[in-house]
Amino acid sequence: MPYALITGASRGIGRALAHELAQRGYSLLLTARSQDQLAQVATELGQQYQVEARVLALDLAEAGAATRLAEWARAQTPELAVLVNNAGYGLWGRFEDLPLAAQQNMLQLNMLLPVELTHQLLPLLRQQPKAYILNIASTAAYQAVPTLTLYAASKAFLLTFSRGLRYELRESPVSVTCLSPGATTTDFADRAGMSAGLQEVSAKLSMTPAQVAKFGVTALLAGEAEVIPGALNKVSAKLTSLVPKSLTEKIAANIYEKHLK
């Protein structure tokens, strides 16, 4: 039975992706920081879909985490067919006001972890008849977002990395897809430190993690390069390529900056 490895699998989009892949017959390798939450997800998957789910509690931002995770995954199964680089978070605020160490931690998780993990697991993925990599970016990847400056930049990196790697692997069994959701009902806004007012605005436009996961896995298995869930998100991303960058940056700043204290 093929396995899928999902980072940040204990809640939100990662948890929903685990359910979506389990529905389609994949056994799961799940990792995140919380052992208790991972165990709960694994129990859910086993009971609902009769698939195997194994877990590894790990702080993925720590040095050496990618190597430890890759070694664990290789030890669990020779049939790893899906790698989902989902772990990540944002920080809201002006670049100069946010602690540098916190921003570096975010960049490690959002950018370097997917790069390191993909590099280490590609040899195993190449051994499968068909394999997939799903990188979770954001609609923020399509423009600069003042007060989410480094978060947007990290997701733009992940989108570009995905497309470049996809082309390099075009004659291999491995397909690469980038999923770029918009606002989603997760704890992203809380962890990012967004104000209550900004969270209320975001909530009105949010999709559920299950909706996002269905879009993502469907596109992944269809071999698509990119997927943006939701008509409004698609239109928004398209418009950023048609209007001057200074205008999209001003619009984003008007949304986010006015909620700063």
**pLDDT tens-place string over residues 154-172:** 999 999 999 999 999 999 9
| 151 catalytic residue (yes or no) | yes
What mean pLDDT is reported for the chain?
92
Taking 90 as the threshold, does the pLDDT of residue 123 lie above it? yes
Q: Which residue out of 132, 151, 167, 256 is catalytically annotated?
A: 151
Higher pLDDT, 172 or 251: 172
Taking 90 as the threshold, does the pLDDT of residue 201 lie above it? no
Q: Tell me the pairing of strands 53-57 and 80-85.
A: unpaired
Per-residue pLDDT of 18-39, as tens digits, reads: 999 999 999 999 999 999 999 9
Per-residue pLDDT of 77-111, as tens digits, reads: 999 999 999 999 999 999 999 999 999 999 999 99
SS3 31: strand
Structural domains of the chain, with CATH: 3-258 (3.40.50.720)
How confident is the model at residue 248, as a pLDDT?
84
Which pLDDT band, with edges at 50, 70 and 90, does 205 fall under?
low
How confident is the model at residue 249, as a pLDDT?
83
Taking 70 as the threshold, does the pLDDT of residue 203 lie above it? no
